[in-house]
Amino acid sequence: MASCLTLKKSNCKNCYKCIRHCPVKSIRFSAGQAHIIENECILCGHCFVVCPQNAKEIVNDVERVRVLIMSGDPVVVSLAPSFIANYEGVGIESMKEALLKLGFYDVEETAIGATMVKREYDRILGEGNRDVLISSCCHSVNLLIRKHYPGLLKYLADVLTPMQAHCKDIKRRIPGAKTVFIGPCVAKKDEAQESTGLVDAVLTFEELTEWLRKEKIELRKEAAPSDESRARFFPTTGGILKTMAMDAPDYTYMAVDGVETCMMVLKDLENDNIHKCFIEMSACTGSCIGGPVMEKYHRNPVQEYLSVARYAGTKDFPVPQPEPAEMQRRRKPIIQFSSLPSEAEIQRILHQMGKYKPEDELNCGSCGYDTCRAKAIGIYQGKADVSMCLPFLKEKAENFSDTIVNNTPNALIVLNDDLEVQQINRAAQRLLNLRSASDVLGDNVVRILDPDNFLKVLDTGRGIINDRQYLAEYNRFVEQTVVPAEDGRMLVCIMRDVSEEESERRRKEEISMETMEVADRVVERQMRVVQEIASLLGETAAETKIALAKLKESVSHE
């Protein structure tokens, strides 16, 4: 299965769209990347169709088919009846003509195998031994039951699919033949791997179209219907029923499509609410003409159904019916290993996501899970991560942002391009003497601040950094920074209160001036003293000399 549907990791952008559309939640997220869980995937192809980045990729088998053709063995195509909806106006003869140019030995319609399958359904129902019988044509439905509802395998028809029945018949009729199925289904590639010896390769319509384009082979418009083609209805919802006799006594015949609808029916079966019923199940809405690799991604289901209806006939293909044993296909359950958490473990995980009360569980589905509890189970099983809860991340980011904004010592004001206040923090409220943010939210900034710097930033698109201003109304000095945000649609103003710094600076300036004045006075006095000393020195020098001589003499005598 891993070889059928793969992931291009570089393209996965952590959008969770695939898990939102996966009906069985068989996708695990790790390190921001999606990973398909093989033993849970039913290959419905929903993730491939909805992925906006084309991160899901179906493995191309064209080269494998080329090798089969080059081997020299007769390679026969089993062409799904939905081809008439994919290649509008192109019938089987035109398809055969083009495919033979590619080197195929022959081309037949899978509807031949569908004829055998519907006859076997009629035979089983005619015996009256089965309470409920579910059609086995859709491999995704078969995988759904085998993997997720193994207890209901007793209701699944143990009959070959039309692809298997037809390819088996081809190999019986053509010795040494290799078979290649071409259709709109991802799951058929996996079915071919399981059908050892029956189906050698599977191509999608996309692969075929690209191959024809490279070989410059054009499909000729020609779609002549025939009476012997009733099984061509198989790829439509209710198409199997249209081909069946529907005459088994006491049985109700019904058709359901879409995985979600099929799962609801299966749950009813688990609850023992359905009896004596034949159920045609298709994983794709609209059945096979709504397949994941039908090329028309913007399809018109009504027109495509009409294309099938116009091409289908009223009689069966004249093919011999194999013995019941030849049509039998036993299917075994595929064991699941995911354990379920206890209620205490679920509550612990819910608390990690910020869900402490029932009303905290928004069940918004943004993470891909229908409910917060289902997401918690996914986390426990290693499929999901707490970070996938977008409301939780949003609230966490807002709380983190609010914590920073409201606890920063700097004043912060956010304006829109009309200069209207959008956000103001507590520090700004204190700085501007506001009682609360509501006093100014939505008002023009001119009410509280000079708008000059804001207008300059709007006009130039360039920020103003650390512009020192005196806010006379508030008797405050601030360093104001105004920068544009969100492509100029918002302005962020940060103001640092530098009033104390300014006061300290002015105080130091005053001290410096006083010191200079004192120094000037001291110098002036000193100069006067020096002048006086100089005059005195000349008159007393002789007297001083005599006094010192006497003192010296006195000291020497002692």
Nearest CA-CA partner of 292 in 194, 364, 190? 190
Structure token digits, residue 383: 């499929």
Is the pLDDT reported for residue 51 higher than 90?
no
Least confident of 36-40, 52-56, 88-92: 52-56
Where do the domains of the chain lie?
A: 1-59, 60-327, 340-407, 409-497, 509-542
Report whether CATH 3.30.70.20 matches the domain 1-59. Answer: yes
Distance in angstroms (rounded) separating the CA atoms of residues 345 and 380? 8
Is the pLDDT reported for residue 1 higher than 50?
no
Map 490-523 to HEC letters: EEEEEEEECHHHHHHHHHHHHHHHHHHHHHHHHH
pLDDT of residue 513: 84
Q: Can 1-59 and 340-407 be said to share one CATH topology?
A: no
Percent of the chain scored above 70 by pLDDT?
92
Mean pLDDT of the 64-81 span: 97
pLDDT of residue 369: 85
Q: Which residues contact 497 (CB under 8 A, 6 or more apart)?
A: 411, 431, 476, 477, 478
Nearest CA-CA partner of 163 in 234, 84, 110, 204? 110
pLDDT of residue 246: 95
Least confident of 152-156, 305-309, 482-486, 548-552: 548-552
Nearest CA-CA partner of 86 in 208, 237, 252, 177? 208
What confidence tens digit (pLDDT) does each residue in 159-214 have? 999 999 999 999 999 999 999 999 999 999 999 999 888 999 999 999 999 999 99
pLDDT confidence tier of residue 556, bands split at 50, 70 and 90: low
pLDDT of residue 116: 97
What confidence tens digit (pLDDT) does each residue in 75-99 have? 999 999 999 999 989 999 999 999 9
Class of domain 409-497: alpha beta
Report whether CATH 1.10.15 matches the domain 340-407. Answer: yes
Is the pLDDT reported for residue 466 higher than 70?
yes
What confidence tens digit (pLDDT) does each residue in 315-374 have? 999 999 999 999 999 999 997 767 788 999 999 999 888 888 888 888 887 787 888 898
How many Å is the Cα radius of gyration of the chain? 43
What confidence tens digit (pLDDT) does each residue in 388-442 have? 777 776 677 666 667 778 788 899 999 998 999 999 999 999 999 999 889 999 9
pLDDT of residue 2: 45
Mapping DSSP to helix (H, G, I), strand (E, B) and coil, where does residue 257 land?
A: strand
Mean pLDDT of the chain: 88
Is the pLDDT reported for residue 387 higher than 50?
yes
Q: How far is CA 32 from CA 26, 332, 349, 386, 423, in A?
A: 16, 34, 19, 12, 33
Mean pLDDT of the 448-476 span: 92
CA 222 to chain centre: 42
pLDDT of residue 85: 93
Distance in angstroms (rounded) separating the CA atoms of residues 438 and 424? 9
pLDDT of residue 354: 84
Distance in angstroms (rounded) separating the CA atoms of residues 29 and 388? 9
Is the pLDDT reported for residue 449 higher than 50?
yes
pLDDT of residue 489: 83
What confidence tens digit (pLDDT) does each residue in 505-554 have? 888 888 888 888 887 787 778 777 767 776 666 555 556 556 555 655 65
Residue 383 near residue 34, CB atoms below 8 Å: no
Report which of residues 264 and 377 the model is more confident about.
Answer: 264
Percent of the chain scored above 90 by pLDDT?
59
Mean pLDDT of the 236-245 span: 96
Amino acid at 465: I
Mean pLDDT of the 90-112 span: 96
Mean pLDDT of the 270-294 span: 94
**In terms of DSSP bridges, do strands 178-183 and 75-79 run parallel, antiparallel, or are they unpaired?**
parallel
